[in-house]
Amino acid sequence: MSTYVAPVEEMRFVLDELAEMETLSSLPGYEEATTDLVDAILEEAGKFASGVLDPINASGDREGAKLENGVVRAASGFADAYQQFVEGGWNGICMEPDFGGQGLPAVLGTTVQEMWAASNMAFELCPLLSKGAMELLSEHASDDLKSAYLPKMVSGEWTGTMNLTEPQAGSDLAQVKTRAVRDGDTYRITGQKIFITWGEHDMAENIVHLVLARLPDAPPGIKGVSLFLVPKFMVNEDGSLGDRNDLRCVSLEHKLGINASPTCVMSFGDDGGATGYLVGQENAGIACMFTMMNSARLSVGLEGVAMAERAYQRARDYAKERVQSPVLGSGDSAPAPIIRHADVRRMLLTMKAQTEASRALSYFVSSRQDVARRHPDAETRQAAGALVALLTPVAKAWSSDIGIDVANTGVQVHGGMGFIEETGAAQHLRDVRITAIYEGTNGIQANDLIGRKVARENGVTIKALIARMRELDGDLAKAPEQVATMRNNLSRGISALEKATDWLLATYASEPARAAAGSVPYLRLTGIVVGGWLMARAALAAAERLANGDGNPAFMQGKIATARFFADTYLPEAEGLVEIAATGGAMAVDIAEDLF
């Protein structure tokens, strides 16, 4: 079984050419993100992923987390790996220095998080949730809560969770029934939450739960939901841990994948009420929680990238070793490694192109977060923030769909052996499947894109992005032929996105259901075109480096070839997706229910 190797050369290229790392390192507060520091972080993170996390991935999948007498035991090796993770300072590299973080750019955190997810997604889910919880508390909690909880969370000594849904609620958080009753300066929380990732475990000494609940006098619906910090153990004034709070894990879900990540049913207040602390204002919990949800959405999209990379590496390595059948048209009757067979090469290049395009999108969005947070010009910050908001549902849904598609193709490359667990290919498919469901299903992401992100602002941000993408046409026209050949398909793809956006803006207000029925192909169209634009930028940069004798020639040639394949294979879908978005959903809306 092959070992995961972090694609550091690829990551560094995307950071430099698409995320514009040099520009980010000049922003206020990011001056320490020097080339040497970035290189050192990528190298050490790669070692940790390959040497510590990857070896316990398959064993963790087989063993799983276990609930014993009210205590959740992580799979063998996980607690030790987590302590090494904490000791290495990995948990807080992008967190605020005021609370012990290193304050480095978010996009650098994105690169190392990809390594954690690719080598061991079940493990990575724990710091993923902690990251979102820390970002939420940093933005919305009181100073007292920040000083009491953030230092230990930033260090990794304490972990964080997201407690949103309940058995009757699903994705409709307006149906939340968990109750919060005022009790002096605190609140008593009672109710049950489901699907709580790493909601209970033995890897850290305390767990900080962020819980949505409803006050007795709250207005109905989503506007009556509040947010509370509910610790597993109470925290004394001196920072030491006190009594166990009134909360517990009552069961673990039995799942398709990510078996080493405990998915908990959490019960709050069985003995009178768990003590909770209000975060933000009463009845404004959803607005606060969106900080964590949006962070998680980008992280889940990145998991799609990571699992695609892992599945690609495993399939590529297997294809180089597996000898079967002579190569068609070679004139040689001897069996050859299957990587020489045309259809296997097509599958591998498909996997590679999809992975690189989704990585480019994830890193690009993350870099715009850094601009939105740190750029000295207010107008530039605002524009970058709007672009992040627009592309967050695309990065989440398109990248997670790609992760599933690539992992599925990875099983196919293995042939019958891909269906056998010992090869490891099946685990990638099982693990990544949840990403299309996490943090709002991909259909919900598509509805968010067309409604909140495009129609609500009359397409201002996506039109600005379309105009920016068109600016690349002149550079492609002057590029070497091997890159310039991408120009036509990219131009047609951008025009297709513009046409679909015009249809959406004309339709949404009067026929929102019809627009929603076309939202998934619209999101896919957006992902393909933006991904194609970023791949074209990568090809231009690689061609320039080749001409200047800068870097590894084979790597640059590979970047160009992969970008061309993406342009030839995926951008032609754009024009068809316009028609599907505009007309394909009509029957889904109009068909009588009894005909299903």
Q: Domain boundary residue among 140, 155, 170? A: 155
Is there a single domain that holds both residue 122 and residue 250? Answer: no
How far apart, in whole angstroms, are the C-alpha atoms of residue 543 and residue 538?
Answer: 9
Please check the confidence at residue 1 and state whether its pLDDT lies above 80: no
Q: Are 448 and 583 within one domain?
A: yes
| 147 and 15 fall within a common domain | yes
CATH number, residue 107: 1.10.540.10
Query: Cα separation of 122 and 435, whole Å?
Result: 12
Under a CB-based contact definition with an 8 Å cutoff, are residues 365 and 19 in contact? no
Same domain, 562 and 595: yes
Tell me what pLDDT residue 433 has. Answer: 98
Residue 240 lies in a domain: yes
* Least trusted range by pLDDT, from 4-18, 36-50, 163-177, 298-312: 163-177
Mean pLDDT of 210-223: 96
| Inside any domain, residue 420 | no
pLDDT tens by residue, 509-519: 999 999 999 99
Asked if the model's pLDDT at residue 585 lies above 90, the reply is no
Report the half-sphere exposure of 48 (CA within 13 A, side-chain side).
Answer: 25
Residues 584 and 542 in one domain: yes
Confirm whether 592 is domain-assigned. Answer: yes
Residues 102, 171 within the same domain: no
Q: What pLDDT score does 2 carry?
A: 84
Mean pLDDT of all residues belonging to the chain: 97
Range of the domain at 530: 441-596
Same-domain pairing of 588 and 513: yes
pLDDT at residue 577 greater than cutoff 80: yes
- Taking alpha carbons only, the member of 575, 566, 562 closest to residue 492 is 575
Residue 583, pLDDT > 90, answer: no
Q: Quick one: pLDDT band at residue 30, thresholds 50, 70, 90?
A: very high
The per-residue pLDDT for 588 is: 87
User: For residue 110, which of 355, 399, 310, 363 has the smallest C-alpha distance?
Assistant: 363
12 and 74, same domain (yes or no): yes
Would you say residue 595 lies in a domain?
Answer: yes
- Grade residue 263 by pLDDT with cuts at 50, 70 and 90: very high
Q: Which pLDDT does position 286 carry in this prediction?
A: 96
For 161-186, the pLDDT digits (tens) are 999 999 999 889 999 999 999 999 99
66 and 73 Cβ atoms separated by less than 8 Å: yes
- Say if CB 374 and CB 30 are below 8 A apart: yes
pLDDT-derived band of residue 82, with 50, 70 and 90 as boundaries? very high
The answer to whether the CB of 435 falls within 8 A of the CB of 256 is: no
Same domain, residue pair 127 and 224: no
DSSP assignment of 40-106 equals HHHHHHHHHIIIIIGGGHHHHHHH--EEETTEEEPPTTHHHHHHHHHHTTGGGTTS-GGGT-----H
446 and 546 co-located in one domain:
yes
Q: What is the CATH number of the domain that holds 198?
A: 2.40.110.20
Q: Is 484 exposed, middle or buried (0-12, 13-18, 19+ CB in 10 A)?
A: middle
Q: How many domains does the chain have?
A: 3
pLDDT in tens, 325-366: 999 999 999 999 999 999 999 999 999 999 999 999 999 999
Catalytic annotation, pick one of 114, 166, 439, 498:
439
Report the alpha-carbon distance of residue 487 to residue 479 in Å, rounded: 10
Phi, psi of 370 (to 5 degrees): -65, -40
pLDDT at residue 256 tops 90: yes
20 is annotated as an active-site residue:
no
- pLDDT tens column, 490-527: 999 999 999 999 999 999 999 999 999 999 999 999 99
Residue 133: inside a domain, yes or no?
yes
